[in-house]
Amino acid sequence: MNTFRFSKYALGLLITAFSLQSCLKDDKITDLRPTAVVTVRPQADDTFFLQLDDVTRLNPTNMKKSPFGKKEVRALVKYTKESNDTKSKAQNVRIHWIDSIRTKQPVPNLGADNNTKYGNDPIEIVRDWLTVAEDGYLTLRVRTQWSRANVKHNINLVTGINPQNPYELELRHDAKGDIGGPMGEAIIAFNLNDLPQSTDPSKKVKLKLKWKSFNGEKSADFDLQLRPKVKP
Protein backbone atom coordinates (compact mmCIF):
# COMPACT_ATOMS: atom_id res chain seq x y z
CA MET A 1 0.00 0.00 0.00
CA ASN A 2 1.21 3.51 -0.79
CA THR A 3 2.26 5.46 2.25
CA PHE A 4 1.19 8.99 3.08
CA ARG A 5 4.14 11.32 2.83
CA PHE A 6 4.41 15.05 2.53
CA SER A 7 6.92 17.38 0.95
CA LYS A 8 8.90 18.57 3.95
CA TYR A 9 10.94 21.05 1.92
CA ALA A 10 8.01 22.70 0.17
CA LEU A 11 5.70 22.69 3.15
CA GLY A 12 8.52 23.96 5.35
CA LEU A 13 9.13 26.86 2.98
CA LEU A 14 5.42 27.57 2.93
CA ILE A 15 5.03 27.61 6.70
CA THR A 16 8.21 29.65 7.17
CA ALA A 17 7.07 32.22 4.65
CA PHE A 18 3.62 32.55 6.20
CA SER A 19 5.12 32.88 9.70
CA LEU A 20 7.74 35.45 8.76
CA GLN A 21 5.40 37.46 6.60
CA SER A 22 3.06 37.99 9.51
CA CYS A 23 5.70 39.83 11.53
CA LEU A 24 8.18 41.28 9.01
CA LYS A 25 7.95 43.52 5.94
CA ASP A 26 10.86 42.24 3.88
CA ASP A 27 10.44 41.77 0.13
CA LYS A 28 12.93 38.89 0.17
CA ILE A 29 10.49 36.80 2.20
CA THR A 30 8.24 36.40 -0.82
CA ASP A 31 11.07 34.46 -2.50
CA LEU A 32 10.26 31.57 -0.16
CA ARG A 33 6.63 31.36 -1.13
CA PRO A 34 5.52 29.11 -3.99
CA THR A 35 3.93 30.86 -6.92
CA ALA A 36 1.51 28.06 -7.77
CA VAL A 37 0.45 24.45 -7.63
CA VAL A 38 1.07 22.85 -11.04
CA THR A 39 1.11 19.53 -12.86
CA VAL A 40 4.55 18.49 -14.09
CA ARG A 41 3.93 16.91 -17.51
CA PRO A 42 6.94 15.13 -19.07
CA GLN A 43 6.96 14.66 -22.84
CA ALA A 44 8.18 11.89 -25.14
CA ASP A 45 11.24 13.92 -26.19
CA ASP A 46 12.39 14.18 -22.53
CA THR A 47 11.28 17.80 -22.23
CA PHE A 48 8.47 18.87 -19.92
CA PHE A 49 6.05 21.66 -19.22
CA LEU A 50 3.96 22.79 -16.27
CA GLN A 51 0.17 22.84 -16.44
CA LEU A 52 -0.83 25.88 -14.39
CA ASP A 53 -4.60 25.43 -14.62
CA ASP A 54 -7.07 23.91 -17.06
CA VAL A 55 -5.85 26.04 -19.98
CA THR A 56 -2.48 27.66 -19.18
CA ARG A 57 0.83 25.99 -19.99
CA LEU A 58 4.16 27.13 -18.51
CA ASN A 59 7.34 26.43 -20.48
CA PRO A 60 10.49 26.46 -18.30
CA THR A 61 13.38 28.29 -19.95
CA ASN A 62 16.09 27.23 -17.50
CA MET A 63 15.26 23.51 -17.17
CA LYS A 64 15.09 21.06 -20.06
CA LYS A 65 14.30 17.82 -18.22
CA SER A 66 11.86 17.26 -15.42
CA PRO A 67 13.55 16.71 -12.04
CA PHE A 68 11.02 13.92 -11.47
CA GLY A 69 11.94 11.90 -14.54
CA LYS A 70 9.05 10.51 -16.57
CA LYS A 71 6.57 10.65 -13.68
CA GLU A 72 3.67 13.04 -13.95
CA VAL A 73 3.18 14.65 -10.55
CA ARG A 74 1.64 17.67 -8.92
CA ALA A 75 4.16 20.11 -7.50
CA LEU A 76 4.69 23.39 -5.72
CA VAL A 77 6.79 25.78 -7.78
CA LYS A 78 8.32 29.21 -7.44
CA TYR A 79 8.71 30.86 -10.84
CA THR A 80 8.87 34.23 -12.55
CA LYS A 81 7.48 35.05 -15.98
CA GLU A 82 9.84 35.88 -18.81
CA SER A 83 7.37 38.42 -20.22
CA ASN A 84 4.43 40.51 -19.08
CA ASP A 85 1.94 38.69 -21.29
CA THR A 86 -0.63 37.39 -18.82
CA LYS A 87 -3.29 36.43 -21.39
CA SER A 88 -1.29 33.89 -23.36
CA LYS A 89 -2.18 30.23 -22.84
CA ALA A 90 1.52 29.35 -23.20
CA GLN A 91 3.97 31.35 -21.09
CA ASN A 92 7.75 31.12 -20.73
CA VAL A 93 8.88 31.05 -17.11
CA ARG A 94 12.05 30.73 -15.08
CA ILE A 95 11.87 28.16 -12.27
CA HIS A 96 13.53 29.14 -8.98
CA TRP A 97 12.56 26.01 -7.09
CA ILE A 98 10.14 23.14 -7.51
CA ASP A 99 9.16 20.31 -5.17
CA SER A 100 6.82 17.43 -5.87
CA ILE A 101 3.60 16.73 -4.01
CA ARG A 102 2.77 13.14 -3.16
CA THR A 103 0.59 12.17 -6.13
CA LYS A 104 -1.57 9.05 -6.14
CA GLN A 105 -4.33 7.25 -7.99
CA PRO A 106 -7.68 6.76 -6.25
CA VAL A 107 -8.54 3.33 -4.86
CA PRO A 108 -11.67 1.18 -5.25
CA ASN A 109 -14.46 0.87 -2.73
CA LEU A 110 -14.10 -2.36 -0.73
CA GLY A 111 -17.36 -2.03 1.16
CA ALA A 112 -17.16 -3.56 4.63
CA ASP A 113 -13.37 -3.89 4.28
CA ASN A 114 -12.76 -0.16 3.85
CA ASN A 115 -11.98 0.42 7.52
CA THR A 116 -9.49 -2.45 7.61
CA LYS A 117 -7.81 -1.59 4.31
CA TYR A 118 -7.93 2.20 4.29
CA GLY A 119 -8.45 3.15 7.95
CA ASN A 120 -11.08 5.37 9.54
CA ASP A 121 -9.07 7.96 11.48
CA PRO A 122 -10.10 11.64 11.45
CA ILE A 123 -8.50 14.19 9.17
CA GLU A 124 -9.18 17.83 8.33
CA ILE A 125 -9.07 19.57 4.96
CA VAL A 126 -7.68 23.11 4.93
CA ARG A 127 -9.72 25.25 2.54
CA ASP A 128 -7.15 27.59 1.04
CA TRP A 129 -5.51 28.02 -2.37
CA LEU A 130 -3.53 24.78 -1.98
CA THR A 131 -6.77 22.80 -1.91
CA VAL A 132 -7.78 22.91 -5.55
CA ALA A 133 -9.42 20.84 -8.30
CA GLU A 134 -7.88 21.40 -11.74
CA ASP A 135 -6.28 19.60 -14.69
CA GLY A 136 -8.02 16.38 -13.63
CA TYR A 137 -6.36 16.41 -10.20
CA LEU A 138 -7.68 16.98 -6.70
CA THR A 139 -4.96 18.52 -4.54
CA LEU A 140 -5.60 18.72 -0.81
CA ARG A 141 -3.92 20.49 2.07
CA VAL A 142 -4.78 18.32 5.06
CA ARG A 143 -4.30 18.50 8.81
CA THR A 144 -4.23 15.71 11.38
CA GLN A 145 -2.52 14.52 14.56
CA TRP A 146 0.70 12.59 14.69
CA SER A 147 3.11 12.06 17.55
CA ARG A 148 5.87 9.85 16.15
CA ALA A 149 7.75 11.06 13.10
CA ASN A 150 8.79 7.54 12.09
CA VAL A 151 5.18 6.38 11.60
CA LYS A 152 3.95 6.82 8.02
CA HIS A 153 0.24 7.47 7.83
CA ASN A 154 -1.77 6.17 4.87
CA ILE A 155 -4.24 8.35 3.05
CA ASN A 156 -6.44 7.27 0.15
CA LEU A 157 -9.26 8.59 -1.98
CA VAL A 158 -11.96 5.97 -2.43
CA THR A 159 -14.10 5.84 -5.57
CA GLY A 160 -17.29 3.89 -6.23
CA ILE A 161 -18.96 4.68 -2.91
CA ASN A 162 -22.18 5.72 -4.66
CA PRO A 163 -23.27 3.55 -7.62
CA GLN A 164 -25.51 6.39 -8.79
CA ASN A 165 -22.75 9.01 -8.76
CA PRO A 166 -19.19 8.19 -9.93
CA TYR A 167 -18.04 11.63 -8.76
CA GLU A 168 -18.80 10.99 -5.10
CA LEU A 169 -15.52 10.24 -3.32
CA GLU A 170 -14.40 9.51 0.21
CA LEU A 171 -11.10 10.52 1.79
CA ARG A 172 -9.75 7.83 4.11
CA HIS A 173 -6.95 8.18 6.67
CA ASP A 174 -5.09 5.38 8.46
CA ALA A 175 -2.91 6.77 11.25
CA LYS A 176 -1.36 3.33 11.89
CA GLY A 177 -2.07 3.77 15.59
CA ASP A 178 -0.26 7.13 15.69
CA ILE A 179 -3.12 9.07 17.26
CA GLY A 180 -2.92 11.99 19.64
CA GLY A 181 -0.05 14.43 19.66
CA PRO A 182 0.11 17.83 17.98
CA MET A 183 -1.61 18.76 14.74
CA GLY A 184 0.50 18.78 11.61
CA GLU A 185 -0.14 19.49 7.94
CA ALA A 186 0.57 17.81 4.64
CA ILE A 187 -0.23 18.18 0.95
CA ILE A 188 -1.39 15.29 -1.23
CA ALA A 189 -2.83 15.03 -4.75
CA PHE A 190 -4.97 12.50 -6.59
CA ASN A 191 -5.14 11.92 -10.34
CA LEU A 192 -8.83 11.63 -11.24
CA ASN A 193 -8.52 11.68 -15.02
CA ASP A 194 -9.72 8.08 -15.23
CA LEU A 195 -13.14 9.03 -13.86
CA PRO A 196 -15.96 8.89 -16.43
CA GLN A 197 -16.23 11.92 -18.67
CA SER A 198 -19.38 14.00 -18.57
CA THR A 199 -21.67 13.84 -21.60
CA ASP A 200 -19.98 17.06 -22.70
CA PRO A 201 -16.21 16.63 -22.11
CA SER A 202 -15.72 20.40 -22.30
CA LYS A 203 -17.77 20.87 -19.14
CA LYS A 204 -16.59 20.34 -15.59
CA VAL A 205 -17.86 17.52 -13.41
CA LYS A 206 -19.13 18.11 -9.88
CA LEU A 207 -17.10 16.22 -7.28
CA LYS A 208 -18.59 15.49 -3.88
CA LEU A 209 -15.86 14.75 -1.34
CA LYS A 210 -16.70 13.16 2.01
CA TRP A 211 -14.39 12.63 4.97
CA LYS A 212 -14.36 11.98 8.71
CA SER A 213 -13.17 15.08 10.55
CA PHE A 214 -12.39 15.53 14.23
CA ASN A 215 -15.88 17.04 14.54
CA GLY A 216 -17.77 14.34 12.67
CA GLU A 217 -18.63 13.66 9.04
CA LYS A 218 -18.07 16.48 6.53
CA SER A 219 -18.37 17.01 2.80
CA ALA A 220 -17.38 19.55 0.17
CA ASP A 221 -18.08 20.08 -3.52
CA PHE A 222 -15.49 20.78 -6.21
CA ASP A 223 -15.82 21.56 -9.92
CA LEU A 224 -13.21 19.59 -11.85
CA GLN A 225 -12.24 19.71 -15.52
CA LEU A 226 -11.13 16.25 -16.63
CA ARG A 227 -8.70 15.93 -19.51
CA PRO A 228 -10.17 14.75 -22.82
CA LYS A 229 -9.71 11.03 -23.36
CA VAL A 230 -6.94 10.23 -25.83
CA LYS A 231 -8.26 8.08 -28.66
CA PRO A 232 -6.09 5.02 -29.44
Give the pLDDT confidence score for residue 13 in this predicted structure: 46
Same domain flag for 73 and 36: yes
The 3-class secondary structure across the chain, one letter per residue, is CCCCCCCHHHHHHHHHHHHHHCCCCCHHHHHHCCCEEEEEEECCCCCEEEECCCCCEEEECCCCCCCCCCCCEEEEEEEEECCCCCCCCEEEEEEEEEEECEEECCEECCHHHHHHHHCCCCCEEECCCCCEEECCEEEEEEEEECCCCCCCCEEEEEECCCCCCCCEEEEEEECCCCCCCCEEEEEEEEECCCCCCCCCCCCCEEEEEEEEECCEEEEEEEEECCCCCCCC
Give the pLDDT confidence score for residue 199 in this predicted structure: 85
Rounded to two decimals, the pTM is 0.87
Q: Where does a domain end: 45, 71, 101?
A: 101
Q: Where does a domain end: 62, 84, 101?
A: 101
Q: Is residue 193 part of a domain?
A: yes
Give the pLDDT confidence score for residue 3 in this predicted structure: 36
Same domain flag for 94 and 113: no
Same domain flag for 39 and 129: no
Q: Is residue 131 part of a domain?
A: yes
Looking at the 3D structure of the chain, how many domains does it have? 2
Q: Where does a domain end: 101, 117, 152?
A: 101
User: Could you list the pLDDT tens digit for every one of the 232 residues in the chain?
Assistant: 333 344 444 455 454 444 333 333 444 445 678 999 999 999 999 999 999 999 999 999 999 999 999 999 999 999 999 987 767 899 999 999 999 999 999 999 999 999 999 999 999 999 999 999 999 999 999 999 988 778 899 999 999 999 999 999 999 999 999 988 899 999 999 999 999 998 888 899 999 999 999 999 999 999 999 998 766 5
Give the pLDDT confidence score for residue 30 in this predicted structure: 52
Same domain flag for 116 and 91: no
CATH of the domain at 20: 2.40.50.500
